[in-house]
């Protein structure tokens, strides 16, 4: 576990330094802002949909390394996924970061999202790790133009 942890930390640092899909989308189907006042993370998520499939997804904004790398990994994972697959992935991530730090981790198909496993030891950072996801889900549902974690 401790050996893996440093690999996962590298994943976060790398995505923070070189975020994927860090741009706007012209004429997006949805554009939603997410804000985490606890940390000051503030992102805009852009979505281009093809029926139920996420054709393109991108983000802009600024935040701590955890929130930014989480947004970056999310956009890389979700391109080509359906609405349902996207919310399933979020549920898995959410379950992991909210789980008991002593409990066994189930890697399942979380892939690079495993980078956030360590967050369960830091409840204050859960909102950093999930901000982009909450914002993306809101964009998919088309309910609001901005999301706050408060
Ligand atoms: Zn943060």
Domain 2-143 maps to which CATH number in 3.90.1010.10, 3.50.30.30, 3.40.50.970, 3.40.640.10?
Answer: 3.90.1010.10
Token pair belonging to 42: 């503030």
Per-residue pLDDT of the chain (150 residues; tens, 9 = 90+): 445 567 778 999 999 999 999 999 999 999 999 999 999 999 999 999 999 999 999 999 999 999 999 999 999 999 999 999 999 999 999 999 999 999 988 777 788 898 999 899 998 899 999 999 999 999 998 866 777 876
Token pair belonging to 77: 């994972």
Distance CA(75)–CA(20), nearest Å, equals: 7
Domain regions of the chain by residue span: 2-143
Distance CA(146)–CA(150), nearest Å, equals: 12
How many angstroms is it from 50 CA to the middle of ligand 1?
A: 31
* Strands of 1-150, DSSP E: 30-36, 41-50, 53-62, 146-148
Length of the chain: 150
How many angstroms is it from 107 CA to the middle of ligand 1?
A: 24
How many angstroms is it from 119 CA to the middle of ligand 1?
A: 11
How many angstroms is it from 68 CA to the middle of ligand 1?
A: 8
Angle at 87 between CA 128 and CA 114, to 5 degrees: 50
How many angstroms is it from 13 CA to the middle of ligand 1?
A: 14
How many angstroms is it from 64 CA to the middle of ligand 1?
A: 4
How many angstroms is it from 134 CA to the middle of ligand 1?
A: 14
Is pTM, for the whole model, over 0.75?
yes
């Amino acid at each position: 576990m401790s050996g893996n942890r440093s690999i996962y930390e590298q994943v976060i640092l790398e995505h923070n330094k070189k975020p994927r899909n860090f741009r706007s989308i012209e004429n997006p189907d949805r554009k939603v802002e997410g804000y985490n006042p606890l940390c000051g993370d503030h992102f805009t998520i852009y979505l281009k949909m093809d029926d139920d499939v996420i054709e393109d997804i991108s983000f802009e904004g600024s935040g701590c390394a955890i929130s930014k790398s989480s947004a970056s990994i999310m956009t890389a994972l979700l391109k080509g996924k359906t609405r349902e697959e996207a919310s399933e992935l979020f549920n898995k991530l959410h379950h992991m970061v909210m789980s008991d730090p002593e409990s066994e981790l189930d890697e399942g198909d979380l892939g690079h999202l495993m980078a956030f496993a360590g967050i369960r030891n830091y409840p204050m950072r859960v909102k950093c790790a999930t901000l982009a996801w909450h914002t993306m889900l809101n964009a998919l549902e088309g309910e609001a133009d901005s999301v706050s974690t408060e």
